[in-house]
A and B are shown apart, each in its own frame.
Chain A
Amino acid sequence: MRLARRVLPVLLLGALVLTGCKGAGPAPRKSGDVVGIYSGELTTINYLVTATTAEQSVAANCIDCLVEYDNLGILRPALATSWEVSPDGLTWTFHIRKGVKWLTYQGKEYAEVTAQDWVDAAKYILNPKNASQTADIVYRVIKNAEKYFNGEITDFNEVGVKAKDKYTLVYTLEKPVPYFLSMLTYCPFMPVNGKFLQEVGDKFGTDNEYLLYNGCYIFSVWEPHNQQVFVKNEKYWDAKNVHIPRLIFKFNQEAATLAPELFLRGEITGAGIPTDALDEWMKDPQKSKMVRPAETSFYTYFYAFNFNPKFPAEYEPENWKIAVNNLNFRKAIFHALDRRAALLTTDPYYPERMINNTITPKNFAAYGGKDFTQIGELAEISNRDSFNPELALQYRDKAKQELAGKVKFPVKVMMPYNTGSTSWTNRVQVVEQQLENLLGKDFIDIIPVGFPPTGFLNATRRAGNYALMECNWGPDYADPETYTDPFYPGSNYNWPEMAEGYLEPNGKTKYQNMVDEAKAEVIDIGRRYELFAKAEAFLINEAFVIPYSVGGGGYVATKLEPFTSPYAPFGVSSLKYKGQVVLDKPMSTEEYKAAYEKWLKDREAALQQEAAKAKK
């Protein structure tokens, strides 16, 4: 996760900047090439193995999935023209689009895309020798897949993926998975040609010539640490919705520093504007018309209270353990944290848009036309600001009373931060001053402790080496369940199962029982979402965590058009350039905000429409 933020090459600018890409109009729109620079070279383009966003962006643009998201976040047919699901929700039958070709990197036809390609992909992924980093995503849902991966069964015919005929693919699941369709937009569910795989063997995905293409672009030139060139696939089944002829990316280790200058010289299509240069851009009459906010992501950031402290004795872990198990102590910090002030270190102009009141971000999932964050008790949480100094002081006084004689005040709060991140380094100081000033230095003593970027998470969060820490999590599928994983027993985030006073008669914690109940509901999605909303509200109301912000954001100067590319909470659709054009001039902040408002309305209408369709 840290890597994802660090590596974010300007290559991915398009993905960051312009999430989404569904071709709007039927007629091809005119567009120039995208020219960008990037600082992190691809290590592989084997999309069946990698889990890195930059590497998956190659697959997103070069290989199509069974389904894809449109620019409003609605799932549409792609390589599957239609599908049916059995009444028990276990068997999914997909009808494969006929006449779609696999092409070589030189654009020569190699074979036709058939149902067998998805079977071959599953067989490759589920072979432990290939060490796929996304194998679990397949074997957690497909029947017998985990057993095959672990060697408990050896006959692949027993695994729940079959080519019924050339154009009919059948997936059989272990149990009903309401979000299964959304999973199909992710790399491990992409097809691969078995004959080609056999031909190239271990070289598959090591170079652009060792990959076949059926998506919007062909990776025509790859000179590592020099350049990458993608050309439009003229034989693509939906070619009329691909408007950008070429994507050209030049490597430069200092891409982040040089990109703004190169953009001003007209040499590249877009650039992220670093926070320290933002003032200069905003105050310049010409430059200020070229800069606008970048899209946020579905990474959720939160401050976690650690219930399993393993930090050095000098920070008094035993004292912390007693304090953190006091609800009023946690709530005092929960309501004392001024998230806006903290976010100013990242976005000094528009921090509000980054604030996230829930763990699951807005616009991630919706049911019945209602966003998940507006369901049940979550609605109240998502519509308020947790920063409330009066409440914070009330809880502080109660905590002081309850903990008197039990803990030593001020309670030492060890807060690790990554020294490789300037904004985090600044932010931890802001948080320290702000919390101590509000709650009093006699109540808490925030101690920021810097750790180097290398092995940061191993040394801190995963080792339990913190008291209060900024953490993040990205979704694995388009269902609120994915945001419960960090807090479920077995995870290494903040061990809420070790909090005192939450055990229920069955030996599980209250939160775990709530999540289990929600997970078990796979038929009535409305109820499922209500149960997950209730569990998340419990987690927040009991102050196990302090929801903080969403990921992404920042500012960009770019000619790439926003809101026309796929919008997806999960999978790789949002990394596509399909549907986008390069504008004559970059959008200003005002133009961007107007386009965003329009997009929000369009999306709401589309969700309502889908809900109405589902009711019928």
Chain B
Amino acid sequence: MLKYSLRRLLHSLVTLFMVLTLVFLLMRLLPVEGYYGERADKLTPAQKEAILRKMGLLDPWYVQLRNFYLQLLRGDLGVSVIYRANVPVKEILAAKIPYSVAFGLGALVLSLVAGLAMGIHMAQNKGLFWDKFWTWYVVFINAVPGAVYLLFIQLYGTSITGLPMLFDRYNVRSWILPLVSMSLSGIAANAMWLRRFMVDELNKDYIRLARAKGMSSRAIMVKHVLRNAFVPLANYLPASILFTISGSIYVESLYSIPGMGGLLVTAISRQDNPLVQALVLIYSSLGILGLFLGDVLMAILDPRIRLEKQGGAR
């Protein structure tokens, strides 16, 4: 396990270095006009040079890259140059991450509880009314763009229930609709996959054997089917928890939640290089860590999986 972990760590560092360097170089390929702001047509060449110099963009790319890594080794994520000029990236993220994590974890718990319950209910009633009923929900959530139903939930949800339309961190009632909205797709996904895995399990020989041995349906469901069906889902759980940090782009923006949702897209479109690099570093690290923890969790849940032997699950 230790050997495997160290090997994965080494691979991860190499991957991280490649991703960061690639993104760094790609950002330098963007047109410089993007750094000039609204008065781009009116700035003098001297002003344009001053702007680029302040952002450190007049140095050769390898000098910029070296400076970036040296800064990173000191634990400094740099200073935002456009998104919030001169504000340390750490400060920007520190103000946003708690919101996204709070909403993300809340929504994750909701989607797990409701999604697993729905999945079990569907599997138990395979081909019957409730299976079809929940399938309709799953299809609806996957087929209709989120922007449509989330906007409806906001407009009609607030007018029917009297809940606030905009988020206010001091008002607990304003948390309800965003949490529900964020969990809807998770519920559908969890229910769909759990149903599928459970139905697969139900068709296996060992279940027939268990039935033949006289085990109750409830015991079969809980002790065998659910546990085995949950293993593939568990693989994605650590990554899902870690990625709550990235926030929900649409729901956060809809309810005015000052979280991380959409920050990377905004930072890229505004060409705020230090912020982009910091976000890529965080997201890449979390992605790699999430996959690793997923493998470990699977190994714990299913002793048949041996990480060292096969060099990992992936």
Contact bitstring A228-240, B, C-beta under 8 A = 1, else 0: 0000000000000
Residue pair B38, A226 in contact (C-beta under 8 Å): no
| Band of interface residues on A | 35 or more
**Which residues from chain A contact B205 at a C-beta distance below 8 Å?**
none
Residue pair A128, B50 in contact (C-beta under 8 Å): yes
Given contacts A44-B85, A128-B46, contact A252 B256 (CB under 8 A): yes
Contact bitstring A133-168, B, C-beta under 8 A = 1, else 0: 111100000000000011000000000000000000
Residue pair A1, B41 in contact (C-beta under 8 Å): yes
Residue pair B256, A261 in contact (C-beta under 8 Å): no
**Which residues from chain B contact A3 at a C-beta distance below 8 Å?**
37-38
Complex-state Cα separation, A458 to B33, whole angstroms: 7
Query: Is B166 at the interface (CB under 8 A from chain A)?
Result: yes
**Which residues from chain B contact A485 at a C-beta distance below 8 Å?**
42
Please classify the interface of chain A as helix (H, G, I), strand (E, B), loop, or mixed, using the class held by over half of its residues.
Answer: loop
Contact bitstring B181-194, A, C-beta under 8 A = 1, else 0: 00000000000000
Residue pair A131, B254 in contact (C-beta under 8 Å): no
Query: Is A203 at the interface (CB under 8 A from chain B)?
Result: yes
Contact bitstring B226-265, A, C-beta under 8 A = 1, else 0: 0000000000000000000000000011111011001000
**Which residues from chain B contact A250 at a C-beta distance below 8 Å?**
166, 256
Query: Is A262 at the interface (CB under 8 A from chain B)?
Result: yes
Residue pair A492, B54 in contact (C-beta under 8 Å): no
A residues 192-209 touching B (CB-CB < 8 Å): 202-203, 205-207
**Which residues from chain B contact A37 at a C-beta distance below 8 Å?**
166, 256
Query: Is B176 at the interface (CB under 8 A from chain A)?
Result: no
Complex-state Cα separation, A3 to B33, whole angstroms: 13
Residue pair A131, B46 in contact (C-beta under 8 Å): no
A residues 437-479 touching B (CB-CB < 8 Å): 454-455, 457-458, 462, 476
**Which residues from chain B contact A251 at a C-beta distance below 8 Å?**
256, 258
Residue pair B54, A51 in contact (C-beta under 8 Å): no
Residue pair B38, A262 in contact (C-beta under 8 Å): no
Query: Is A52 at the interface (CB under 8 A from chain B)?
Result: yes
Complex-state Cα separation, A499 to B34, whole angstroms: 30
Residue pair A262, B165 in contact (C-beta under 8 Å): yes
Residue pair A43, B50 in contact (C-beta under 8 Å): no
A residues 1-56 touching B (CB-CB < 8 Å): 1, 3-4, 37, 41, 43-44, 46, 49-53
Residue pair A129, B50 in contact (C-beta under 8 Å): yes
B residues 280-297 touching A (CB-CB < 8 Å): none
> Quick one: closest B residue to A3, CB to CB?
B38
Query: Is A508 at the interface (CB under 8 A from chain B)?
Result: no
Contact bitstring B36-51, A, C-beta under 8 A = 1, else 0: 1111111110110111
Query: Is A600 at the interface (CB under 8 A from chain B)?
Result: no
Complex-state Cα separation, A251 to B151, whole angstroms: 16
Query: Is A504 at the interface (CB under 8 A from chain B)?
Result: no
Centre residue among A149, A225, A254 by max chain B CB count within 10 A? A225
Query: Is B163 at the interface (CB under 8 A from chain A)?
Result: no
**Which residues from chain B contact A542 at a C-beta distance below 8 Å?**
none
Centre residue among B49, B151, B253, B269 by max chain A CB count within 10 A? B253
Query: Is A258 at the interface (CB under 8 A from chain B)?
Result: yes
Query: Is B53 at the interface (CB under 8 A from chain A)?
Result: yes
> Quick one: closest A residue to B255, CB to CB?
A252
Other 16 A-B pairs with CB < 8 A, given A1-B41, A133-B37, A250-B256: A3-B37, A43-B82, A46-B85, A50-B37, A51-B37, A51-B38, A52-B38, A136-B44, A136-B47, A150-B46, A225-B96, A258-B165, A262-B165, A265-B165, A457-B40, A458-B33
What are the 7 A-B residue pairs with the smallest beta carbon separation, nearest first? Answer: A253-B253, A225-B258, A128-B50, A226-B258, A131-B54, A51-B39, A44-B85
17 A-B pairs in the complex with CB atoms less than 8 angstroms apart: A1-B38, A4-B38, A46-B85, A51-B38, A52-B38, A130-B50, A132-B47, A150-B46, A206-B87, A223-B95, A224-B92, A252-B255, A258-B165, A261-B155, A457-B40, A462-B41, A486-B41
